[in-house]
Amino acid sequence: MAAKAHITIDSKMLQKKMKQYETVVGKEVGQLVRNGARLLCVELAAMTWPKQKAHGEGRIGKDVSKIFTALNPKWWNQHVDKMFIAKKGGEDFLTTPSNDILADIGAVRAFHKANKRYSKGRELPSNQKAVVKISVRNRLVKELQKKVGLAKAGWAVAASLVKADVRQPMRGIPGWVTRNMGKAVATVDEKSLAGMSFKIGVTNKLNYVDKLLSKKAQTIAGNIARGKFVKMLDIAIRATKKKEAGLK
């Protein structure tokens, strides 16, 4: 799958139900597909890792520990000629002069950016980890944790762009995701075809979203959205028929 995930919702699979809805309720097909596309975006956001905020925040803490050795104030103040003795797993270990010793948050951010590849099980050797104050390390972690949900936010942006006629287009997407919408990028392409055929393609432009949303997860999201969409149409059809029959 390409790094930027592109998903399409197509009216062909739902034409019979949509035709019934259009006849009874009077809403045109294009708008129905836009509403379905919003549902799809919500489900794609839900299926994109992490499923819970705490999972993403915990992962960030673990990844940061793979490239930094964080020292408490006592150990930090005892350094001599860029050499430290610190505790790890109950054992003493020595960091050699080859370690970078970083006290400034800017330098810590730069080191993290240069070594982000060390994740998903990979870890820098102890003598290559940067040595930092634990307070600075914690500051970096908090900054990174604010970005948790960025990959999901691309789908939230797409949900806002599909022009669904709903009061709350972000309904179903949590606040810790929508807060990152300003940093996320998505595109929406819609096309009318012959007859009742109409399709919308939504693309999450984040360059690593493919690592957080598998093909299988995309299929599951599509199936869930389709089921909710059909249910929504059925409810509207029944309500309209009931109203026309003069029933309460």
Shared domain check, 169 and 229: yes
Task: Tell me, yes or no, whether 22 and 68 share the same domain.
Answer: no
Above 60 in pLDDT, residue 243?
yes
Q: How high is the pLDDT of residue 173?
A: 97
Report whether pLDDT(239) > 60.
yes
The pTM of this model reads 0.77
Give the DSSP H or E segment for 199: strand 198-204
Pair 75, 183 in one domain: no
- The b/e string for 167-184 (b: 16+ C-beta within 10 A; e otherwise) is eebbebbeebbbbbbeeb
Please identify which residue in the block is written with the tokens 């930027």: 4
- Residue found under tokens 């807060």: 179
Listed residue (160, 192, 180, 197) closest to 12, CA to CA: 197
- At 66, the amino acid letter reads K
Domain check: are 46 and 132 in the same one? no
Please give the pLDDT value at position 116. 80
Per residue in 8-30, pLDDT tens? 655 555 667 677 777 776 667 77
Averaged pLDDT of the chain: 82
Grouping H, G, I as helix, E, B as strand and the rest as coil, residue 83 is strand
| Pair 100, 181 in one domain | no
Q: Read off the pLDDT of residues 136-167 as tens digits, 9 standing for 90 and up.
A: 999 999 999 999 999 999 999 999 999 998 88
What domain range includes position 89? 54-145
pLDDT tens track for 96-130: 555 678 888 999 999 999 988 766 668 888 878 88
Name the nearest CA neighbour of 6 among 154, 228, 149: 154
Q: Are residues 114 and 175 in the same domain?
A: no
166-184 pLDDT, tens digit per residue, is: 889 999 999 999 999 999 9
Q: What is the pLDDT of residues 180-210, one digit of tens each?
A: 999 999 999 987 655 556 788 899 999 889 8
One domain for residues 42 and 153: yes
More confident call, 82 vs 224: 224
Question: Could you report the per-residue pLDDT of 44-99, keeping only the tens digit for each?
Answer: 999 999 999 999 999 999 999 999 988 887 777 766 445 555 555 555 555 555 56
For the chain, the domain total comes to 2
Choose the final residue of a domain: 145, 160, 192.
145
At residue 1 the predicted structure's pLDDT band, cuts being 50, 70 and 90, is very low
What pLDDT does 91 receive?
Answer: 57
162 and 88 both lie in a single domain: no
Question: How far apart are the C-alpha atoms of 62 and 160, rounded to whole Å?
Answer: 33
The residue ranking higher by pLDDT, 82 or 243, is 243
Provide the pLDDT for residue 94.
53
pLDDT number for residue 110: 94
Q: Over the range 89-102, which residues count as b (16 or more CB within 10 Å of their CB) and which as e?
A: eeeeeebeeebebb
Q: How far is CA 60 from CA 15, 44, 232, in A?
A: 45, 22, 38
H helical segments located in 128-214: 134-145, 150-161, 175-178
Question: So what's the pLDDT on residue 7?
Answer: 65
How many CB atoms lie under 10 A from the CB of residue 226? 17
